Amino acid sequence: MRDFDYKKKFGQNFLTDETLLTQIAENALISKDSVVVEIGAGKGALTEILSKFAKRVISFEIDKDLFGYLETKFMGSNVEFIFEDIMNFPDEKLNKIVSGDFLLVANLPYYITSPIITRFLKNSNMKSLTVMVQEEVADRIVAVPKSKEYGVLSIICQIFGVPKKVMRVSREMFYPIPNVDSAVIHIERKERYKISDYELFINFIKKCFSMRRKKLSANLESNIMNKNEIEKLLIQKGFSPMVRAEELSIDDFKLLFELFYDKLK
């Protein structure tokens, strides 16, 4: 490939170690019948490995300067490239192209990690997600209540499965070398909790964590309910009036969401 101008605005940090890339594909549990959606083809190193495991690979790449190189390299293969920003690409259009279930596999740019994961977990056509993320983000995804990493992203991911941190990847494995280490997260998608209004529930969770060190009652206070009213409801349901969001399980949040639902709409 010609000399390549690495673009910081796209969060470009490339992997080339074939053993590592193969391990990522293996952790994704790809079969010969799988359709894989990849985000961020880059120079196509992971794409090439995925194409050997899967029936079909649909790879998104935002950098149009890579068009000629990638189209030539993968000509006649089972890889289809879409040179668009995945964040502006509607789920309905993607689902139509995929035409069925798919697995998401990606070395995600750090700046879009949370939006990508949050968005795709809601897509029932996605059966699993295997992504390389910043290690501290991986720790947040798998975090449990009463830990400093536990928060909104932990809950979003754990609603839809049991996230596993399957490998740690040193920053030295990338080029250009980033400032942090990474990790690979795998989530088999399964709706573990029946939520009546998903978007409202997530907004409720964000409000609960809005000021992390404050009591839950302070975060939920509004012009509809004051702190005293909220604390009385918490006590009725067996919670301490001093409870903070980081102490609550997803089951606890679900119970409280249903309790406050009419006042949130």
Per-residue pLDDT tens for 51-88? 999 999 999 999 999 999 999 999 999 999 999 999 99
Looking at the structure, give the CATH architecture of the domain made up of residues 10-188.
Answer: 3-Layer(aba) Sandwich (3.40)
Structure tokens belonging to residue 105 = 């596999």
Nearest Cα to Cα of residue 41 among 1, 3, 5, 83: 83
Contact (CB, 8 A) for 142 and 117: no
Amino acid at 182: S
Q: What is the pLDDT averaged over residues 7-36?
A: 81
Nearest Cα to Cα of residue 116 among 144, 100, 94: 94
**Numbered ranges of CATH 1.10.8.100 in the chain:** 198-264
Dihedral sign, Cα of residue 198, residue 201, residue 207, residue 208: negative
- With a pLDDT cut of 70, the percent of the chain lying above it is 94
**Numbered ranges of CATH 3.40.50.150 in the chain:** 10-188
Query: What phi and psi, each to the nearest 5 degrees, are found at residue 104?
Result: -100, 125
Per-residue pLDDT tens for 150-164? 999 999 999 999 999
Q: Residue 186 pLDDT more than 80?
A: yes
Tell me, what DSSP letter sits at residue 17?
-
Per-residue pLDDT tens for 133-146? 999 999 999 999 99
CATH number of 198-264: 3.30.565.10, 1.10.8.100, 3.30.420.40, 3.60.110.10? Answer: 1.10.8.100
CA-based R_g, the chain, Å: 21
**What mean pLDDT, rounded, does the chain reach?**
90
Per-residue pLDDT tens for 96-106? 999 999 999 99
